[in-house]
Amino acid sequence: MNVFYTLKSSFSHPIKALRTAFAFLLLLCLSACLSSCKKEICYFDYVSELRNNVFLASDDEFSLRIYSVKKESPYSADGVPREMNVRTEIWLVAPSGDRECNVSFTFADETHGGEMSYDNVKAEYYLSCNLDVSTLSTITCSITYGETSRELIAQSVLSKTTLSPEIVLKNLALSEQELFSAMTDKYGFAGEIYLRLIYEDSPYYYVGVIDRNGKTNAFLINATSGKILAKRES
């Protein structure tokens, strides 16, 4: 009887150890499986308008703005992101809008530009072309306005301290978790995002988070610190 008890005890401890090890390995496998199945959302994939650089120049008569942008086509704030096209948008404030106005500049050893249209609502001349100038620091433009001409060198507003659009959006998603979580499920993000660099004395970011009903949660963000300065719903 004592011998049987001794043999039983000697076998029971290794068996328990094996069961514990097996259970632990099974738990690790299940955790790994669940982790691999979890969908990681990259909200930057849902940006349907991106303005990632702004260039400015002015003199005593003219004010020039150049935007490096990507926009979806067709362009619609309906909460559905579509394929984007790269654009360079040029805006010029002149003494009046009753003269023919042309702009030209050199990019990648080629001359671009042409006659600018006049926007009566904004009271500005406008030209758009299919170029990506986002990495430039300056753009030298030749302006012909009626019988006069001049050269304006537009400087980028970006600096070493300016946060990238990707970082700005990532930080916003973390600070506004309730909003982003409510629009996110296992299938992805049910909306689209407008992300624009703007400049008013210093650089800022406008971020618009748009749901499928067209409702927009808008944020004004400091482009250096990433701090949310204002937000509203519309």
Q: Per-residue pLDDT tens for 25-52?
A: 555 544 444 444 445 789 999 999 999 9
Determine the pLDDT at residue 222: 97
d(CA 187, CA 189): 7
Q: Where are the domains of the chain?
A: 1-38, 54-156, 165-233
Q: What is the CA radius of gyration of the chain?
A: 29
* Band of pLDDT at residue 16, cut at 50, 70 and 90: low
Determine the pLDDT at residue 119: 97
pLDDT in tens, 55-74: 999 999 999 999 999 999 99
Determine the pLDDT at residue 133: 97
The count of other CB atoms within 10 Å of the CB of residue 4 is 8
Read off the pLDDT of each residue in 112-136 and give the average, rounded to a whole number.
97
Q: Which residue has the higher pLDDT, 24 or 222?
A: 222
Count Cβ neighbours within 10 Å for each residue of 72-109 and write b for 16 or more, e otherwise.
beeeeebbebeebeebbebbbebeebeeebebebeeee
User: Of 125, 97, 121, 102, whose CA–CA distance to 112 is shortest?
Assistant: 102
User: Of 100, 96, 90, whose CA–CA distance to 120 is shortest?
Assistant: 96
> CATH assignment of 54-156, given 2.60.40, 1.20.120, 1.10.10, 3.40.50?
2.60.40
Determine the pLDDT at residue 186: 86
* Band of pLDDT at residue 4, cut at 50, 70 and 90: very low
